[in-house]
Amino acid sequence: MSVPLHTTGKASFDDIYESPDPRAYFARMNDLDYRIPELAKPLFQEQLRQLRAARPGRIPTVLDLGCSYGVNAALLRTDTTVEELAGHYRDHAETDRVGLIAADRERLRADQIPDVRFVGMDAARPALTYAHAAGFLHDYVHADLEATEPTEAQRRVLASADLVISTGCVGYITEKTLSRVAQADPRKRPWMAHFVLRMFDFDPIAAELAALGYRSEQRPGMFQQRRFASAQERQQVLDALAAKGIDTTDHEAEGWLYANLFLSRPHPIET
């Protein structure tokens, strides 16, 4: 299948985010060995442990930017993997949407990690509404904060966030969105943990957040996101990395997109 390229140089999967349920999404992502949410899971869990220690007695709210069908929420709220989720949706290939939502809700009831709320934000309404209907998200914001300020209703939902996460949307979103999210509640700043593909520069985001009182750091290590979707995508990404002087040996040159993890917290840490 020919995969169009986004203006960032990455493959565009806009079509699957407009599907009424996640089956096409997981079929496509499983073919590409999509794994960044799974690699991110223990690191997000670490942030949640630290957040609970810093703010005892409060149930934390996680805001997932570019959440699509609630994949990060599903992984963090249940003992499952991306591959198992893909298999679950394959097994329900003939189920209608209502039945699929019921199956997801039952799965969540049977195997749920409590004491955390999940809010999603995405520009794709079908993906958001499915994730909410299936119970993965407690609430959601359908918005493009690159283009507009949040409405008052959206701002109230965004303001509930204690931890803001993402596993692939930086590049599609910039410091403009993250600044608007960070300032949703003037009384507090949420912690942030973003996995950012190496082709994208985090420095402008770090600078914008610093102006809001944040300190950002890059965690050691690199994390596989997925395999390249096409030879064209591979070449575009390798060219972009070469232009930045980034060595791709043993990483992107081997056929995978790689991300770094950036943590940003308000200073002093708010409790």
Residue-wise pLDDT tens digits, 180-193: 999 999 999 999 99
N-term to C-term CA, the chain: 50
Is residue 228 scored above 90 in pLDDT? yes
**Is 3 domain-assigned?**
no
**Is 149 domain-assigned?**
yes
**Is 202 domain-assigned?**
yes
Instruction: Write down the mean pLDDT value for the chain.
Output: 93
- Among candidate residues 200, 148, 180, the one with its CA nearest the CA of residue 63: 180
CB proximity list for 11: less than 8 A, separation 6 or greater: 3, 4, 5, 228, 229, 230, 233
Is residue 7 scored above 70 in pLDDT? no
Residue-wise pLDDT tens digits, 73-92: 999 999 899 999 999 999 99
Q: How confident is the model at residue 269 (pLDDT cuts 50, 70, 90)?
A: low
Is residue 46 scored above 70 in pLDDT? yes
Is residue 14 scored above 90 in pLDDT? no
Q: For residue 270, what pLDDT is reported? A: 56
Residues of the domain holding 199: 13-266
CB proximity list for 169: less than 8 A, separation 6 or greater: 65, 66
| Residue 109, Cβ density class (10 Å: 0-12 exposed, 13-18 middle, ≥19 buried) | exposed
Is residue 174 scored above 90 in pLDDT? yes
Domain total of the chain: 1
Q: For residue 17, what pLDDT is reported? A: 87
Q: What CATH number did the domain enclosing 227 receive?
A: 3.40.50.150
Q: Enumerate the H helices of 6-113 as residue ranges.
A: 14-17, 23-31, 36-54, 71-77, 82-91, 97-110
* Residues 198/34, Cβ–Cβ less than 8 Å: no
Share of the chain above pLDDT 90, in %: 86
**Is 136 domain-assigned?**
yes
> How is residue 47 annotated by DSSP?
H
Residue-wise pLDDT tens digits, 126-146: 999 999 999 999 999 999 999
